[in-house]
Amino acid sequence: MANLPSLSLETEEIIDFLRRDLRLKDIYQEIASQKIINQTAQEQGLTVTSNEIQAELDRIRYEKCFDSPSVLLNWLDRQRVTLNELRQRIGEHLLTKKLANYLFSEKVDRLFSEHRSDFEQVLLYKIVVPYEQLANNILYQIIEEEVSFYEAAHLYDIDEKRRLHCGYEGKKRRCQLNPELAETLFNANTGEVIGPLKSFEKTYELFLVEEFSSPGLTTEIYEETLNGMFKEWLEAKLH
């Protein structure tokens, strides 16, 4: 077996492989995106300090359980990356975050305020079966208290993961759901079983609405919304 660390690869070999593997376009776009980010950040006077890079480097060391600098250096050597190259990449990531916040932080707050209802959440359980008659039979059994919704999901759902979790679908925001389905679910009462409804996959679905919630602008929602805005901005710049 060849000793991988001793192999010498030319730049053209790497580029040719990426082109054959249909990855060259994606990498080109990533490089072009970083150039746009760097240029825009420079125009806006945004920079990343050495202390910020070091703090992020320390976080990575802690996350990967590298208990000494030598362990980090050995890991970087296996990745064919130098410490300076890692610090440079960390700086680019931090600069990207700074630019995203600079461009869109206030817009995230405004968007959340203007579209708060889109972020309302419903905790759902779901049963999906292939036939309408079976769905109606399950609904009848639930109404007659012959079986609970959770037991029925465990017995009949076509998805193994949902069966194992007794139909648990999780919390869904209004904006993540089909508008017609969202309207139906958010007008239901907690504990109410909805359906059967025919899906786009021509299966039949029953829903159990367990609870509603109206979260504030959490860190998760903020980051998700900010990243979505920044991604749209960057894609527009690339085209």
pLDDT band with cut points at 50, 70 and 90 for residue 3? very low
Please give the pLDDT value at position 7: 66
What is the distance between the alpha carbons of residues 182 and 176, in angstroms, rounded to a whole number? Answer: 9
Tens-place pLDDT, residues 151-180: 999 999 999 999 999 999 999 888 888 889
Q: How many whole angstroms separate alpha carbon 221 and alpha carbon 183?
A: 21
Category of 191 on φ-ψ map: left (φ > 0), alpha (ψ -120 to 50) or beta = left
As a whole number, mean pLDDT of residues 40-45 equals 96
Residue with the two structure tokens 């300076």: 84
Question: What pLDDT sits at residue 1?
Answer: 36
The 10s digit of each residue's pLDDT in 50-83 is 999 999 999 999 998 888 888 988 899 888 889 9
The residues that bridge with 121 in the sheet, in sequence order, are: 173, 213
What lies within 8 Å, CB to CB, of 211 at 6+ separation is 122, 123, 190
For residues 76-105, one letter each, b for 16 or more C-beta atoms within 10 angstroms of the residue's C-beta and e for the rest, the string is beeeeeeeeebeeebbeebbbebbbeebbe
| pLDDT at residue number 5 | 54
pLDDT confidence of 97, banded at 50, 70, 90? very high
Q: Please name each of the domains of the chain with its CATH number.
A: 12-114+222-238 (no CATH), 121-213 (3.10.50.40)
Task: Tell me the HSE value of 232 on the side-chain side, using a 13 A CA sphere.
Answer: 7
